Structure 1
Amino acid sequence: MMTNLFSMFDPNTNLMNIPFNWLSIFLGLLIIPMYFWLIPNRYLLIWNKILLTLHNEFKILLGPMSSSGSTFMFISMFSLIMFNNFLGLFPYIFTSSSHLTLTLTLAIPLWISFMMYGWINNTHHMFTHLVPQGTPSILMPFMVCIETISNMIRPGTLAVRLAANMIAGHLLLTLLGNTGNHLSYYLMFMLIIIQIMLLILESAVAIIQSYVFAVLSTLYSSEVN
């Protein structure tokens, strides 16, 4: 029985007080068919096409000064988040991407590494980012404060955006599902159709949010080069 609306997102599957919910992060490896890894097939060709498209797009965003192979880090992040978002749509599977514990773990180390690399290797370039071109002299101190604050809240916005979008859809599905016991057969049929439409919408959100997280991380990385 839920004690509050958000208790369905709490880790509660355990064995000898050892929580098992976070093992759902690795469940994506189990649902991939075995022959995906063995021989060239349709699954592998489609996935390679997706990875190649992401690689080309991230390479354009990073610019010509980026290191070779740096796009694969963001592609791997996209894959991890997308798998976890999709797994959260299945019943009785812990939605790890709806928790700030996971999203902040992904966003903060990325942001810290970008800042350390930028300030150590491109210090002058990082200072120029604090004052946009064409800013009047009297507004420069204020612009430095604004740009510094906006830069520091980037990992928070990345994490909150992903977690809030994932938790919002699950809350809506739960609220609508809890009303099914008190509805007539006609309204129940309408509720099932609405739930199916929401699941399709959440499937699109799962892909879009993982893509947005990866693209914004790529853009933040390109700013320090």
Structure 2
Amino acid sequence: MSQATFSRARSEEQRARRREDILTAAAAMLADTRVADLSLNELARRVGLAKSNVLRYFESREAVLLELYGREFAAWLDALEERLAATADRTPESLAAAVAETAAARPVFAELCAAAPGILEHNISGPVALAYKRALLADAARLGALAVPWIGDDPRGTLVFVGAVTLGIGGIWSTCRLSPGMAEAYELDPALARFRIDFRESLETLLVTLIRGLK
């Protein structure tokens, strides 16, 4: 759809379709764009709408990305649940590997997780923040429940695990996503390569250490 052929959505079904188009375009952009570099103007152009028309469906760029984050979080939990259901052993290594490998397979989720506290939770209204936080708490509870066979059902241990997973995904991912300048520095000095962090491996190592401490 181009801006020239744009017509306002009249039904709830049409509005829902427009919202889906915006979310799909945002996810596609994040395949090769960091959250900090994703502009509402470019998102609108990708969808074929004017910026003002995008704002009919979402109150801000951050509101778009928060909803996408919620969807990506739920989809990651689906993948993790499937992986854990097929995991017979209950070692710290098996849980850590499942979390790290499924997160590494979803770079859009990892990017949004990294941006959530510092970027996405700003420039939104109270109602949008409330809906996001409620959904996030539900996802956190589900993550904790999935881990119970490995870490036990102590609420404090579950809280520590969930926090470490989300902070670990976001923190390690942001460290691994090099800026163009830093990527060039690694190319200019191969000796720096040993300081480059692998996302999956680093997250798995962190979680193995944590889970052993919780058991």
* Greater Rg over alpha carbons, structure: 1
| Shorter-normalised TM range | 0.3 to 0.5
Structure 2 length-normalised TM = 0.38
Structure 1 length-normalised TM = 0.37
